[in-house]
């Protein structure tokens, strides 16, 4: 007899939720395209790296607000209305980028996009989370994860399409965001009931797990600096628009692929050992980049740096959950996402600004500082305190510009823990 996790049940879960997957895929393609296009186009318009950094920092600034307000919008207006409102505002922001080349307006629109996109992700995740059974949640989350990274990488790659004008690219962003509403409007099922999840104060989480909070902030700062400065670094070396976009594609895909071996090591051995290993790899690659100037293996070097920093947040999230009661896990997810966005805001602004002040060498020294701080702080915590007992698996989460799935990831861990308890009690 087939179990609840057999391929037929899994296929049915995916078919039943096709509208949500289609919507998130279009959103990720649009967001990936717009995120890198703004950096490259801003540089072409003569914006300094500092101005580009300030403009791009509007996204995580808006996200800090959006992740708090969006749940209340869902509770007050419902999933479909909230999604339609936020998607419409996002589509407008893409068009305004096309109509003006004023950095102040671009920054304001980036804040608007940062407010809307995370809100759209929260709506999609909460709807999907309410529709999926506990035994299917981890598998569906994996499909959702691939839609995130695959969509963002594909959207970024569109910048390199020969003959694609700025008008066509910005228009594509607006069209995709508008189209993402259609599958949800056509879905036959009703959205699930929704309650605003509780949020744990970041101070409380810091007292429980300092390394989880500090690691999330440093991971966000490193990711932000890499994703915001990578294309600028390539353009500064004389790369074409398509080649610079290729760096962003490599950052996205490498960060996605690296999450699985990093999770394996963190689950089988030690969370903090995985953090130490990732940070050490990042330091080594940055040192090599300082010694090796020019374009030689540049995209590969950036890809390895991404592989060393993107999984850090997932491991920190699991490390925090190891020290929490099961009733605290979901509430702590919001504090972890806030920590990451705080780091992203700082990194997205500071990376390009340092590159403006100190050139490409300055950016590498800054990345070395961030990787080095993560390594040093983790080593100190490992000496001061023994590792807690591991209570769940590392769950993959998104990077810059992607859903962090903080609440869903937490609920997946809780569900898996409940199934484990049920299995033990039945033995």
Token pair recorded at residue 86: 């936020």
* φ, ψ at 296 (rounded to 5°): -60, 115
Asked whether the predicted pLDDT for residue 215 surpasses 60, the reply is yes
C-alpha distance from residue 109 to each of 217, 224, 299, 352, 416 (Å): 25, 18, 29, 19, 40
Cα angle vertex 339, ends 85, 408, to 5°? 60
Residue tagged 């096309």 (tokens): 98
Query: What is the chain's length?
Result: 427
pLDDT digits (tens, 9 = 90+) for 284-322: 999 999 988 667 789 999 999 999 999 998 888 888 877
Q: Which run of H or of E encompasses 16?
A: helix 7-16
DSSP structure string for 105-142: HHHHHHHHHHHHHHHHHHHHHHHHHHHS-HHHHHHHHH
| Whether 151 contacts 401, CB under 8 Å | no
* HSE-up (13 A, CA, CB side) for residue 88: 6
Fold classified for 7-426: Growth Hormone; Chain: A; (1.20.1250)
Residue tagged 């890809």 (tokens): 303
Token pair recorded at residue 74: 């869902």
Q: pTM of the prediction?
A: 0.83
Q: Which run of H or of E encompasses 282?
A: helix 271-291
Closest to 222 measured CA to CA, from 36, 368, 39, 424:
368
The rounded distance, in Å, linking the Cα atoms of 3 and 296 is 51
The rounded distance, in Å, linking the Cα atoms of 407 and 415 is 12
Q: Which run of H or of E encompasses 1?
A: none
Token pair recorded at residue 309: 């920093």
The rounded distance, in Å, linking the Cα atoms of 243 and 239 is 6
pLDDT digits (tens, 9 = 90+) for 367-418: 999 999 999 999 998 877 666 665 556 555 655 544 545 444 445 444 445 4
> Mean pLDDT, to the nearest integer, of 38-62?
92
pLDDT of amino acid 135: 62
pLDDT digits (tens, 9 = 90+) for 152-210: 899 999 998 888 888 999 999 999 999 988 887 777 666 666 666 677 788 888 888 88
pLDDT of amino acid 208: 85
Q: List the chain domain ranges.
A: 7-426
């Amino acid at each position: 007899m087939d179990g609840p996790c057999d391929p037929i049940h899994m296929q049915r879960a995916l078919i039943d939720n096709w509208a949500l997957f289609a919507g998130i895929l279009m959103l990720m393609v649009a967001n990936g395209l717009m995120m890198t296009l703004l950096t490259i186009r801003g540089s072409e318009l003569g914006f300094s790296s500092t101005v580009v950094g300030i403009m791009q920092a509007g996204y995580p600034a808006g996200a800090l607000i959006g992740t708090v307000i969006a749940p209340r919008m869902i509770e007050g207006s419902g999933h479909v209305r909230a999604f339609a409102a936020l998607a419409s505002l996002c589509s407008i922001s893409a068009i305004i980028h096309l109509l003006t080349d004023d950095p102040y307006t671009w920054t304001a629109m980036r804040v608007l996009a940062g407010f809307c996109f995370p809100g759209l992700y929260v709506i999609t995740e909460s709807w999907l989370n309410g529709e999926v059974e506990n035994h299917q949640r981890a598998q569906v989350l994996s499909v959702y994860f691939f839609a995130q990274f695959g969509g963002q990488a594909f959207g970024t790659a569109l910048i390199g399409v020969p003959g694609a004008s700025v008008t066509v690219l910005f228009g594509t962003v607006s069209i995709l965001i508008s189209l993402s509403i259609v599958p949800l409007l056509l879905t036959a099922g009703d959205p699930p009931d929704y309650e605003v999840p509780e949020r744990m104060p970041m101070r409380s989480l810091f007292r429980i797990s300092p390394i989880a909070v500090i690691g999330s902030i440093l991971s966000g700062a490193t990711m932000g600096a890499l994703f915001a400065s990578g294309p600028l670094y390539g353009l500064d070396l004389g790369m074409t628009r398509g080649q610079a976009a290729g760096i962003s594609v490599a950052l996205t895909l490498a960060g996605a692929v690296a999450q699985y071996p990093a999770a394996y090591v963190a689950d089988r051995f030690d969370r903090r050992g995985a953090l130490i290993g990732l940070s050490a790899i990042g330091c080594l690659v940055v040192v090599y980049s300082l010694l090796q100037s020019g374009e030689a293996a540049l995209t590969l070097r950036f890809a390895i740096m991404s592989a060393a920093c993107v999984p850090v947040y997932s491991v920190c999230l699991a490390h925090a959950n190891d020290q929490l009661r099961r009733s605290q896990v979901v509430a702590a997810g919001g504090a972890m996402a806030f920590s990451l966005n705080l780091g992203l805001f700082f990194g997205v602004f500071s990376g390009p600004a340092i590159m403006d002040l100190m050139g490409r060498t300055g950016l590498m020294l800054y990345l070395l500082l961030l990787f080095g701080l993560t390594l040093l702080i983790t080593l100190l915590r490992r000496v001061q305190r023994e590792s807690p007992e591991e209570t769940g698996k590392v769950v993959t989460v998104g990077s810059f510009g992607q859903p962090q799935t903080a609440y869903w990831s937490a609920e997946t861990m809780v569900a898996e823990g409940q199934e484990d308890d049920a299995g033990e009690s039945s033995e």
